[in-house]
Amino acid sequence: MPEMLFRDALTQALREEMQRDERVFIMGEEIGRFEGSYKVTRGLINEFGKKRVRETPIAEEGFMGAGIGAAMLGLRPVVEIMTLNFILVAMDMVINHAAKIRYMFGGEVQVPMVIRTPGGAGGQLTAQHSQSFESWFANTPGMKVLAPANPHDAKGLLKSAIRDEDPVLFIENLMIYTERGEVPDGDYIVPIGVAAVPREGTDLTIVSHSYATVRALRVANRLAQEGLSAEVVDLRSLRPLDVETIVNSVRKTHRLLCVEEGWPTYGVSAEIAARVQKACFAELDAPVERVGGAEVPMPYAKPLETAAIVNEEKIYQAARAVLAESGMLARGVS
Amino acid sequence: MPEEIVMPRLSDTMTEGTITRWLKKEGDAVKNGEILFEVETDKATLELQSYHDGTLVKILMGDGSTAPIGTPVGVLAKAGEEVDVSNYASGAAPPPAEPATTSAPTPPAAPAPEAGTPKPQAREATAAAEDVKASPLARVMAEQSGLDLRTLAGKGSGPGGRVVRQDVESAAESAPAPVARAGQSAGPSGPDHEDRELNRVRQAIARNLALSKPGAPHIYLTMEVEMDAALALYKQVNELVDDEQSRLTVNDLVMKATALALRKYTDLNAHFIDGKPPKLRVFNRINLTVAVPGDQGLMVPVVKDVDKKSLSQIAREAKEVYGRIRSNKPAPDDFQGGTFAVSNLGRWGIDEFQAVINPPQVGILAIGAAAPQAVVREDKVEIRSMMRVTLSADHRAADGVYAADFLVELKRLLEHPLGLVI
């Protein structure tokens, strides 16, 4: 199976879907001649022309609205927002229109649109450009929210998103574009609403999504060297949420750590903690632990930024804290 | 609620700990992350840090006291909390002795503190099972196994003495009569290991050596092995094997020979348990830890029961485990159960080197390259493939002569390699 970068897997999905269905087109800032800020749309303008690779002005609310209109009238737009941070000026379009139209038109009109955009932090882009508020969208009925963690799932999930009849927010990550992984040639899809278990284990379940999963897997390796066996559940899909896979894992390990890159208060990890305690309270041998970004605007200074991000050391320490709650480890032993 | 600080469980083998020194006094403010006290366990002296902000209102077990895990040793009040310290008795009674098990032949070296003031009446009287601090899972397991959770109240290994799964499991395990347990362990597979107390001489050796080499005091012994016969065998076998996975490497031969030599020199197939008194845990299974280069550094997966497996089986399993390491997908038990270690730098052309023991193991064998050399045989200079192996042994577990005998046996096995096949 060929290996490729996360970003190239996305390009492949876009190209194959545009070849497969002529209603699919892409729209966004600098996605044509400049090939996108993160080069996901590389080569597409030459192959499909300006009509299907539409360059827009810096006017997110306007072109988000145009995408919704195109979707309502039968096209299948893939709108690129340069980073998740810039979607804020188009929130009314996303939440009040894209997510509501199907309901308000009595199901007669649908909005089969994909919004692709990277969240995340780590490049010293500071407070306004380093955010991970995907949970705001996952909080909204009418939206689907996807956040893959490897190139295989990126390609398969983007295809599912494009073929879906509802508006889908497709979360990428600034750090994840250069992750490498095996991607099958040709057409395949990864279903929406199904989590994956990229690593099996027996002592602890770590639930995460997007780049936090990449980090969680590294931490699981480190724990394995100490004889501690962590299972990693990669959500892939935040809404709909695959509670069953998480619960099955917790039934096996009896301990749960939720990791997310965003702020944990009212976050993805809060949702999972609530669902798990309801679904399998009697299986828990320790309180559910959460770790997320520090609850501050992201600092610019590199040491402060590093301290604010969900880094691997924090995940590792949180994992050990959960195990300690079950008496498996000393707490805070140096 | 004030937080009871309990004697933590700091290792799998720890049953009790000794507080060597409190770093906080009664009345001191404590911040999350600050060190509360140092505790000496069967393995090492470790620090216990606080996971809460607050005030250390009471020290129940002072410097030098020894207590079983789970025993309250101090009380931490959170900010603004009023605590009636008279509810907590100094030198709190240790939990009643657990039912005797066959595996505990030695009394604890340091006498446990005398039973002091009993716990406050109020707590005892209202202690319904629902009032016992326990994890939801522990509660369900206790109910299913008919265990009265109140017998474990406050003695769990979770924070504040919370009862967790492993407490219920070990309570259930120690419940049956000792006879039944003895019968179990004498089953067909035999017990997994035998704990042997060090005799007086060995204890003195261990104490003394620690003065010049703290930790595991290494001794190193190097021996040359003539590998021509082993290499010829390896070539013959590989000509017969058409399955890539079963092809032998020189290392597979060395592993098998090492495992067979360990069968005779069992004291090297052991863990050193640095407690009071120190013990040597001699294993019946021979599971070899193998040093493998990984993405982020040295990895030490384990190939199990090497002495009982055929060469091709060892070759296959070693390849599988290396494959999992290389693809970053180790199996949960790939790193568990190692009893002795082998590290091979022969492929890199290293002639000989000294490896560092992986505690609590007591030995590691460092394998150099097998290379043609001029040697003297019956007064003639001949060319032979010579390989140097260096054993690092924990001197507390084994003396030089014992380690040398092991190497002689290893050399014999490798120089007469048919014994590795049959």
Q: What is the mean pLDDT of residues B121-142?
A: 71
Q: What is the mean pLDDT of residues B337-341?
A: 92
Percentage of the residues of chain B whose pLDDT score is greater than 70 = 84
Residue intervals of chain A classified under CATH 3.40.50.970 are: 3-182
A154-163, B297-306, B357-366, B374-383: which is most confident: A154-163
- Across the interface, which of B159, B328, B334 has its CB nearest the CB of A325? B159
CATH number of the structural domain A196-325: 3.40.50.920
Q: Does B40 touch chain A (CB under 8 A)?
A: no
The CA–CA distances, whole Å, from A30 to A7, A80, A173 equal 16, 10, 18
Q: Does B166 touch chain A (CB under 8 A)?
A: yes
Q: Which chain B residues are within 8 Å of A218, Cβ to Cβ?
A: 296
The pLDDT score that the predictor gives to residue B327 is 80
Q: Does B167 touch chain A (CB under 8 A)?
A: yes
Amino acid occupying residue B105: P
- Across the interface, which of A199, A284, A333 has its CB nearest the CB of B135? A284
The pLDDT score that the predictor gives to residue B174 is 73
Which residue shows structure tokens 């805070």?
A: A332
Q: Please name which of A146, A142, A151, A137 lies closest in space to residue A191, comparing C-alpha atoms.
A: A146
Q: Does B189 touch chain A (CB under 8 A)?
A: no
The pLDDT score that the predictor gives to residue B48 is 84
Q: Which chain A residues are within 8 Å of B299, Cβ to Cβ?
A: 225
**CA–CA separation, B217 and B394 (whole Å):** 5
CB B269 within 8 Å of CB B322: no
- Residue from A197, A281, A326, A328 whose CB has the most chain B CBs within 10 Å, to mutate: A326
Asked if pLDDT for residue B330 goes beyond 80, the answer is no
Q: What is the mean pLDDT of residues B130-139?
A: 87
Phi, psi of B366 (to 5 degrees): -105, 120
DSSP per-residue codes, B154-198: T--SSGGG-B-HHHHHHHHHHSS-HHHHHHHHTSTT--SEEEEEP
Q: What is the mean pLDDT of residues B115-135?
A: 56
The pLDDT score that the predictor gives to residue B172 is 79
B218 included as an active-site residue: no
**CA–CA separation, B140 and B127 (whole Å):** 18
Instruction: Please name the residues in contact with B237: beta carbons below 8 A apart, sequence gap of 6 or more.
Output: B248, B311, B312, B421
Please tell me which residue in A29, A35, A60, A289 is annotated as part of the active site: A60
Question: Distance (Å) from the C-alpha of residue B191 to the closest C-alpha of chain A?
Answer: 22
The pLDDT score that the predictor gives to residue A114 is 98
CB A180 within 8 Å of CB A215: no
Helix or strand (DSSP H, E) at B298: strand B297-299
Q: What is the mean pLDDT of residues B228-236?
A: 90
Q: Does B161 touch chain A (CB under 8 A)?
A: no
**CA–CA separation, B409 and B193 (whole Å):** 23
Q: Which chain B residues are within 8 Å of A283, Cβ to Cβ?
A: 136-137
Instruction: Please name the residues in contact with A226: beta carbons below 8 A apart, sequence gap of 6 or more.
Output: B335
CB B267 within 8 Å of CB B251: no
Q: Does B136 touch chain A (CB under 8 A)?
A: yes
Instruction: Please name the residues in contact with A308: beta carbons below 8 A apart, sequence gap of 6 or more.
Output: A121, A293, A294, A296, A298, A299
Using the beta-carbon criterion (under 8 Å), do A227 and B336 form an inter-chain contact? yes
CB A36 within 8 Å of CB A42: yes
The pLDDT score that the predictor gives to residue A102 is 97
Helix or strand (DSSP H, E) at B141: helix B136-145
Q: What is the mean pLDDT of residues B156-169?
A: 88
Using the beta-carbon criterion (under 8 Å), do B300 and A281 form an inter-chain contact? no
Instruction: Please name the residues in contact with A248: beta carbons below 8 A apart, sequence gap of 6 or more.
Output: none
Helix or strand (DSSP H, E) at B221: strand B218-226
Among positive and negative, which fits the CA dihedral A54, A57, A58, A59? negative
**CA–CA separation, B93 and B160 (whole Å):** 16
Token reading at A197: 């278990």
- pTM given for the model: 0.55
With H, G, I as helix, E, B as strand and everything else as coil, classify residue A4: strand
CB B267 within 8 Å of CB B275: no
**CA–CA separation, A236 and A246 (whole Å):** 12
The pLDDT score that the predictor gives to residue B116 is 42
Long-range own/partner contacts, residues B333-336 (CB < 8 A, 24 or more apart)? B333/A229, B333/B302, B334/A224, B334/B301, B334/B302, B335/A224, B335/A225, B335/A226, B335/A227, B335/B299, B335/B300, B335/B301, B335/B302, B336/A227, B336/B302
**CA–CA separation, A172 and A7 (whole Å):** 9
- Across the interface, which of A225, A229, A321 has its CB nearest the CB of B332? A229
Q: Which chain B residues are within 8 Å of A285, Cβ to Cβ?
A: 135-138, 164-165
Residue intervals of chain B classified under CATH 2.40.50.100 are: 1-120
Using the beta-carbon criterion (under 8 Å), do A282 and B335 form an inter-chain contact? no
* Residue B90's pLDDT band (cuts 50, 70, 90): low
- Across the interface, which of A218, A254, A330 has its CB nearest the CB of B137? A254
Using the beta-carbon criterion (under 8 Å), do A224 and B33 form an inter-chain contact? no
**CA–CA separation, A230 and B50 (whole Å):** 25
Q: What is the mean pLDDT of residues B29-44?
A: 82
CB A121 within 8 Å of CB A132: yes
**How many beta-carbon pairs below 8 A join chains A and B?**
88
The DSSP bridge pattern shows strands B218-226 and B380-394 to be antiparallel
Q: Which chain B residues are within 8 Å of A334, Cβ to Cβ?
A: 46-47, 49
Q: Does A279 touch chain B (CB under 8 A)?
A: no
Residue intervals of chain A classified under CATH 3.40.50.920 are: 196-325
Which residues make beta-bridge pairs with A114? Answer: A78, A168
The pLDDT score that the predictor gives to residue B100 is 39
Q: Which chain A residues are within 8 Å of B51, Cβ to Cβ?
A: 321, 331-332
The pLDDT score that the predictor gives to residue B292 is 87
Instruction: Please name the residues in contact with A132: beta carbons below 8 A apart, sequence gap of 6 or more.
Output: A84, A119, A120, A121, A210, A260, A261, A262, A263, A293
CATH 3.90.1170.40 fits B198-421, yes or no: no
Q: Does B10 touch chain A (CB under 8 A)?
A: yes
Among positive and negative, which fits the CA dihedral A264, A267, A268, A273? positive
Q: Does A286 touch chain B (CB under 8 A)?
A: yes
Question: Distance (Å) from the C-alpha of residue B76 to the closest C-alpha of chain A?
Answer: 16
**The architecture CATH gives domain B1-120:** Beta Barrel (2.40)
**CA–CA separation, A237 and A164 (whole Å):** 13
Render pLDDT for A254-267 as a digit per residue (tens, 0 to 9): 999 999 999 999 99
A268-277, B130-139, B384-393: range with lowest mean pLDDT: B130-139
Using the beta-carbon criterion (under 8 Å), do B164 and A326 form an inter-chain contact? yes
- Sheet of B54-59, strands arranged across: B3-6, B72-77, B54-59, B29-30
Report CA A81 to chain centroid distance, whole Å: 14
CB B398 within 8 Å of CB B282: no
Render pLDDT for B7-31 as a digit per residue (tens, 0 to 9): 887 766 677 888 988 999 988 888 8
B-proximal residues of A, 111-130, CB under 8 Å: none
Residue intervals of chain B classified under CATH 3.30.559.10 are: 198-421
Q: Which chain A residues are within 8 Å of B167, Cβ to Cβ?
A: 327
Question: Distance (Å) from the C-alpha of residue A242 to the closest C-alpha of chain B?
Answer: 23
DSSP per-residue codes, A90-115: GHIIIIIIITTHHHHTTTSS----EE
CA dihedral A147, A153, A155, A158 (to 10 degrees): -40
- Across the interface, which of B8, B49, B335 has its CB nearest the CB of A224? B335
Question: Distance (Å) from the C-alpha of residue A325 to the closest C-alpha of chain B?
Answer: 5
* Residue B80's pLDDT band (cuts 50, 70, 90): confident
The pLDDT score that the predictor gives to residue B52 is 80
> How would you class A249 by CB atoms within 10 Å of its CB: exposed for 0-12, middle for 13-18, buried for 19 or more?
buried
Instruction: Please name the residues in contact with B421: beta carbons below 8 A apart, sequence gap of 6 or more.
Output: B233, B237, B311
Using the beta-carbon criterion (under 8 Å), do A282 and B332 form an inter-chain contact? no
Give the domain A3-182 fold: Rossmann fold (3.40.50)
Q: Does B359 touch chain A (CB under 8 A)?
A: no
Q: Which chain A residues are within 8 Å of B13, Cβ to Cβ?
A: none
Question: Distance (Å) from the C-alpha of residue B165 to the closest C-alpha of chain A?
Answer: 6
Using the beta-carbon criterion (under 8 Å), do B164 and A286 form an inter-chain contact? yes
**CA–CA separation, A257 and A269 (whole Å):** 9
* Angle at alpha carbon of residue A98, lines to A97 and A103, rounded to 5°: 80
Q: Which chain A residues are within 8 Å of B46, Cβ to Cβ?
A: 330, 333-334
A-proximal residues of B, 297-316, CB under 8 Å: 299-300
Question: Distance (Å) from the C-alpha of residue B140 to the closest C-alpha of chain A?
Answer: 6
The DSSP bridge pattern shows strands A114-119 and A76-80 to be parallel
Render pLDDT for B257-274 as a digit per residue (tens, 0 to 9): 999 999 999 999 999 988
The pLDDT score that the predictor gives to residue A56 is 98
Instruction: Please name the residues in contact with A282: beta carbons below 8 A apart, sequence gap of 6 or more.
Output: B136, B137, B139, B140
Q: What secondary structure letter does DSSP report for B361?
A: B
Q: What is the mean pLDDT of residues B302-309?
A: 92
One digit per residue, pLDDT tens: chain A, 334 residues? 889 999 999 999 999 999 999 999 999 999 999 999 999 999 999 999 999 999 999 999 999 999 999 999 999 999 999 999 999 999 999 999 999 999 999 999 999 999 999 999 999 999 999 999 999 999 999 999 999 999 999 999 999 999 999 999 999 999 999 999 999 999 999 999 999 999 999 999 999 999 999 999 999 999 999 899 999 999 999 999 999 999 999 999 999 999 999 999 999 999 999 999 999 999 999 999 999 999 999 999 999 999 999 999 999 999 999 998 888 875 443 3
**CA–CA separation, B260 and B306 (whole Å):** 8
Please tell me which residue in B193, B218, B271, B395 is annotated as part of the active site: B395
Token reading at A26: 């892409």
* Residue B43's pLDDT band (cuts 50, 70, 90): low
* Residue B206's pLDDT band (cuts 50, 70, 90): confident
The pLDDT score that the predictor gives to residue B33 is 80
Amino acid occupying residue A128: Q
Supply the mean pLDDT for chain B.
Answer: 81
The CA–CA distances, whole Å, from B189 to B120, B186, B261 equal 48, 8, 21
Q: Does B330 touch chain A (CB under 8 A)?
A: yes
**CA–CA separation, A57 and B322 (whole Å):** 53
